C-alpha cells in the first residue's frame, strides 16, 4: 500500500511591503504594522496618523480645562479674601474688576485701618499658588507694612494713585516687590 498523501498547508503569502511614506515633518507617522494607514498616507488621502492627532487634541483639551478651573479657583479665593478684608475696612472699596482695592476718600487715606483689618485674616486657597491683589493709594513702605500683616499665600501689589505718585515714593521704587515675610522687616533708613 502506498502512503497516503497528507494535505499540505498552503504556503503563507509574503506580507506586502509598506509603501514608502513621504517625510511628514512634525506630523506623526502611523505604526509599522498599520499598512492601511501607511497606504492612505502614501496615496495622499491622509497626511497623518489620526489617532495620534486625536490623542494630542484630547491631552490639550484636558490641560486647557484644568488651567481654566485653576484660574477660576484663584479668582474665587482672591475675591473671597478681599470681601472679608473690605468688610473689616469700611473706608476701602473694590475697584476695577474686583481684584483691586482703593480708598473711598480722596484726602486722607486710612492706611492703619487697612493694616489692622488684614491682621488675623485667614486665607482659603485650594490651588496652593500665590494669590495677589492690587492696592491703590499706598506708598511702597506702606505696602511693605500691609504685606507683613497679610497671611502667607497672598500678597498685595502697587497700583497707581495720585497720593502715591510723589518724589519721595519714587525714591523707594526698588521696594515695589519687597516681602517682609520672606526677607524680614524693613530697616528704617
Report how far residue 1's alpha carbon sits from residue 38's, in angstroms, rounded to the nearest whole number.
54
pLDDT value at residue 3: 61
pLDDT in tens, 80-96: 888 898 898 888 888 87
Least confident stretch, 39-53, 73-87, 152-166: 39-53
Highest mean pLDDT among 45-54, 64-73, 103-112, 158-167: 64-73
What is the overall mean pLDDT for the chain?
A: 77
- Best mean pLDDT range from 26-30, 123-127, 129-133, 183-187: 129-133
Contacts of 171 (CB under 8 A, 6+ apart): none
pLDDT in tens, 120-155: 888 887 777 888 888 887 887 888 888 888 888 888
Please say if the pLDDT value at position 116 is more than 90: no
Distances (CA, A) of 33 to 23, 101, 105: 18, 62, 74
Cell of 105: 476718600
Whether the per-residue pLDDT at 39 is higher than 60: the answer is: yes
- Helix H, strand E, coil C: the string for 28-60 is CCCCCCCHHHHHHHHHCCCCCCHHHHHHHHHHH
pLDDT at 66: 94
Share of the chain above pLDDT 70, in %: 67
Percent of the chain with pLDDT over 90: 6
Please tell me the predicted confidence (pLDDT) of residue 170.
64
Cα Dmax for the chain: 124
Decide if 145 contacts 115 (C-beta within 8 A). yes
Cα-based angle 110, 112, 117 (whole degrees, multiple of 5): 100
pLDDT at 112 over 70: yes
Q: What is the mean pLDDT of residues 66-89?
A: 90
Residue 76, Cα to own-chain centre: how many angstroms? 14
Asked if residue 62 has pLDDT above 70, the reply is yes
DSSP state of 17: P
Amino acid at each position: 500500500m502506498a502512503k497516503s498523501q497528507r494535505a499540505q498547508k498552503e504556503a503563507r503569502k509574503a506580507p506586502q511591503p509598506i509603501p514608502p511614506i513621504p517625510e511628514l515633518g512634525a506630523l506623526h507617522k502611523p505604526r509599522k504594522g498599520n499598512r492601511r494607514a501607511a497606504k492612505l498616507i502614501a496615496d495622499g488621502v491622509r497626511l497623518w496618523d489620526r489617532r495620534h492627532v486625536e490623542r494630542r487634541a484630547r491631552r490639550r483639551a484636558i490641560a486647557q480645562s484644568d488651567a481654566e478651573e485653576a484660574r477660576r479657583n484663584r479668582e474665587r479665593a482672591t475675591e473671597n479674601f478681599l470681601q472679608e478684608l473690605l468688610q473689616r475696612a469700611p473706608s476701602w472699596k473694590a475697584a476695577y474688576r474686583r481684584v483691586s482695592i482703593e480708598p473711598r476718600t480722596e484726602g486722607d487715606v486710612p492706611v492703619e485701618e487697612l493694616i489692622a483689618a488684614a491682621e488675623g485674616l485667614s486665607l482659603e486657597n485650594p490651588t496652593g499658588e500665590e494669590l495677589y491683589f492690587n492696592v491703590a493709594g499706598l506708598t511702597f513702605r506702606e505696602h511693605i507694612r500691609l504685606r507683613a500683616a497679610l497671611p502667607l499665600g497672598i500678597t498685595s501689589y502697587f497700583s497707581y494713585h495720585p497720593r502715591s505718585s510723589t518724589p519721595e515714593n519714587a525714591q523707594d521704587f526698588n521696594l515695589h516687590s519687597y516681602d517682609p515675610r520672606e526677607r524680614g522687616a524693613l530697616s528704617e533708613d
